């Protein structure tokens, strides 16, 4: 079964074609600079010969429809493509950032689902419209092919109100839906599943802390396979320190910045989202640059690293208590997968919590996953390479399975 995964942004479309029989990637590509003077499509194909092929095309891509047509042509190109005909694609899975409270699960896309995603645009004004563009275009170009929406927020819909509510007047939740939603759900779900597989237990029997550290950073407490607490909030600004985002601050700082600097609300929003975090403290937001700088004695780079680690440890402590019992702790995404110094700093001295790092294993190179805890560690610590596209494709297949069972049941009832 071949599934096309689409991640449609405002000026780009990331895509991946997967063969779900072996869960192998056939093509991974990116259409960029949609709507600009010159666009570009870059792709890597894995045609099964073991030889990776690269493909690049520079041309004007005025809109998402043109971009999608180009990527379909690239995938099914007679010479360089990996399939003979776009009709071989059995389903399309779409990443959708915000499902609000409407979606606890992925959904088979229908007009009602599109309306519900549109209704959640105020919660993700930059992302949901771009995701919808991708859905609309794909529905035109793949008429009759089932399409599934997979939401970044859905995994966290299992959080209880005590965890997802802000201590604000309750009517703000009832009327404005102001609450914590959490993000990176597809990644947290994927690595939690992989961790359970490595531990040899059903996910539903695992208590895990999953730590996603990329440009955006978040942590999730997973109880019996379900998210019960996560660090990102109503927007992806809360919680851990990130590349350019501040994470937790005193909310009174908005008023203070307004009074002392005369900043208006848009300027404060931009400051906290784009000029803060690691970048705000030391001018750099890539952890590799920060390591290089601190090794050369840059004090602000050292401070940014120390602050990042401190916040992470504070959250690990909090999530231990939320869960009571922790079976596994998982690091993932750009920093989590690659940065052994960060992982060592985050977990040092936690033997009393049952976490004992194997420093040698921690310095090793992860493949799909790597165990970095010592044999005597009560908590298994893993590095797991996240794979959101594969998770979207898996959930797409699952939804199709459920839909076909539902159709059969319905047909049975009619007989």
Which of the residues are catalytic? 152
Q: What letter does residue 366 receive in the DSSP assignment?
A: P
Q: Which is nearer to ligand ADP, 387 or 395 (CB)?
A: 387
Q: Choose among 85, 137, 133, 139: nearest CA to 108.
A: 139
CA geometry: angle 320, 322, 323, nearest 5 deg: 65
Name beta bridge partners: 5: 16, 93
- 114-117's contacts with Cβ under 8 Å and 24+ in sequence apart are 117/149
Q: Which is nearer to ligand ADP, 275 or 398 (CB)?
A: 275
- Minimum distance, C-beta of residue 359 to ligand ADP, in the bound complex (Å): 17
Applying CB under 6 A, which of residues 44, 84, 197, 288 lies at the interface with ligand ADP?
288
Q: Should residue 9 be labelled a site residue for ligand ADP when binding is judged by CB under 6 A?
A: no
Q: What letter does residue 174 receive in the DSSP assignment?
A: H
Residue 382 C-beta-side C-alpha neighbours within 13 Å: 24
- Minimum distance, C-beta of residue 177 to ligand ADP, in the bound complex (Å): 26
Residue 315 C-beta-side C-alpha neighbours within 13 Å: 27
Q: Which is nearer to ligand ADP, 146 or 334 (CB)?
A: 334
Residue 216 C-beta-side C-alpha neighbours within 13 Å: 15
Q: Which is nearer to ligand ADP, 181 or 183 (CB)?
A: 183
User: 295-307 burial, b for 16+ CB within 10 Å, e for fewer?
Assistant: eeebeebeebbeb
Q: Which is nearer to ligand ADP, 68 or 333 (CB)?
A: 333
């056939």: which residue's tokens? 26
Q: Which is nearer to ligand ADP, 288 or 314 (CB)?
A: 288
- Minimum distance, C-beta of residue 281 to ligand ADP, in the bound complex (Å): 14
Give Cα 249 to chain centroid, integer Å: 23
Options 4-12, 15-23, 126-134, 285-293: segment touching ligand ADP (CB under 6 A): 285-293
DSSP 286-321: -HHHHHHHHHTT-HHHHHHHHHHHHHHHHHHHHHHH
- From the number of C-beta atoms within 10 Å of its C-beta (0-12, 13-18, 19+), residue 140 rates as exposed
What ranges make up the beta strands (E) of 71-167?
89-96, 107-108, 147-151
Q: Which string of x and - marks every residue 110-149 that binds ligand ADP (by CB under 6 A)?
A: ----------------------------------------
Q: Choose among 392, 384, 367, 368: nearest CA to 15.
A: 392
Q: Should residue 286 be labelled a site residue for ligand ADP when binding is judged by CB under 6 A?
A: yes
Q: Choose among 397, 402, 394: nearest CA to 197.
A: 394
Residues 180-219 interacting with ligand ADP (rule: CB under 6 A): 214-216
Q: Which string of x and - marks every residue 315-354 that binds ligand ADP (by CB under 6 A)?
A: ------------------xxx--xx---------------
Applying CB under 6 A, which of residues 67, 106, 182, 243 lies at the interface with ligand ADP?
243
- Minimum distance, C-beta of residue 294 to ligand ADP, in the bound complex (Å): 12
Q: Which is nearer to ligand ADP, 77 or 286 (CB)?
A: 286
User: Judged by CB under 6 A, how many residues of this single chain contact ligand ADP?
Assistant: 12
- Minimum distance, C-beta of residue 216 to ligand ADP, in the bound complex (Å): 5
Q: Which residue is nearest to ligand ADP (CB)?
A: 334
- Minimum distance, C-beta of residue 308 to ligand ADP, in the bound complex (Å): 10
Q: Should residue 287 be labelled a site residue for ligand ADP when binding is judged by CB under 6 A?
A: yes
* The pair of three-digit structure tokens given for residue 337, joined into one six-digit string: 């997968």
Q: What letter does residue 14 receive in the DSSP assignment?
A: E
Q: Which is nearer to ligand ADP, 70 or 335 (CB)?
A: 335
Options 2-10, 286-294, 373-381, 391-399: segment touching ligand ADP (CB under 6 A): 286-294
């610590």: which residue's tokens? 381
- Minimum distance, C-beta of residue 277 to ligand ADP, in the bound complex (Å): 11
Cα 241 from Cα 237, distance rounded (Å): 9
- Minimum distance, C-beta of residue 124 to ligand ADP, in the bound complex (Å): 16
Options 11-19, 233-241, 269-277, 280-288: segment touching ligand ADP (CB under 6 A): 280-288
């690091």: which residue's tokens? 331
Q: Could you list the residues that contact ligand ADP (CB under 6 A)?
A: 214-216, 243, 286-288, 333-335, 338-339
């Amino acid at each position: 079964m071949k599934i096309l995964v689409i991640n449609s942004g405002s000026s780009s479309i990331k895509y991946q074609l997967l063969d779900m029989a072996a869960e192998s990637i056939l093509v991974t590509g990116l259409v960029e600079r949609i709507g600009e003077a010159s666009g570009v499509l870059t792709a890597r194909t894995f045609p099964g010969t073991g030889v990776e092929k690269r493909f690049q095309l520079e041309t004007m891509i005025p809109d998402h429809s043109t971009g999608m047509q180009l990527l379909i042509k690239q995938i099914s190109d007679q010479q360089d493509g990996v399939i003979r005909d776009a009709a071989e694609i059995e389903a399309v899975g779409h990443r959708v950032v915000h499902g609000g409270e409407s979606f606890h699960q992925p959904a088979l896309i229908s007009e009602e689902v599109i309306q519900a995603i549109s209704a959640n645009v105020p919660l993700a004004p930059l992302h949901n419209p771009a995701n919808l563009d991708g859905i609309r275009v794909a529905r035109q170009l793949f008429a009759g092919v089932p399409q599934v929406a997979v939401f970044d927020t859905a995994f966290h819909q299992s959080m209880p109100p005590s965890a997802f509510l802000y201590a604000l007047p309750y009517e703000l939740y009832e009327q404005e839906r102001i609450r914590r939603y959490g993000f990176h759900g597809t990644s947290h779900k994927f690595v939690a599943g992989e961790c359970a597989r490595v531990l040899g237990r059903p996910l539903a029997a695992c208590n895990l802390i999953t730590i996603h550290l990329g440009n955006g950073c978040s942590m999730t407490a997973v109880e019996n396979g379900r998210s019960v607490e996560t660090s990102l909030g109503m927007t992806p600004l809360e919680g851990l320190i990130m590349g350019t985002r501040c994470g937790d601050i005193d909310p009174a700082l908005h008023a203070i910045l307004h009074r002392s600097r005369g900043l208006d609300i848009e300027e404060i929003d931009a400051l906290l989202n784009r000029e803060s975090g690691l970048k705000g403290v030391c001018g750099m937001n890539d952890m590799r640059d920060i390591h290089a700088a601190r090794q050369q004695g840059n004090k602000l780079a050292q401070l940014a690293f120390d602050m990042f680690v401190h916040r992470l440890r504070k959250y690990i402590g909090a999530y231990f208590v939320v869960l009571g019992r922790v079976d596994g702790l998982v690091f993932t995404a750009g920093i989590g997968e690659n940065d052994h110094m960060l992982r060592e700093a985050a977990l040092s001295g936690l033997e009393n919590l049952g976490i004992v790092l194997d420093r040698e294993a921690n310095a090793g190179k992860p493949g799909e996953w790597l165990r970095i805890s010592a044999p005597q560690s009560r908590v298994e610590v893993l590095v797991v390479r996240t794979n959101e596209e594969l998770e979207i494709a898996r959930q797409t297949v699952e939804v199709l399975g459920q839909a076909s069972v539902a159709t059969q049941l319905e047909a049975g009832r009619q007989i």
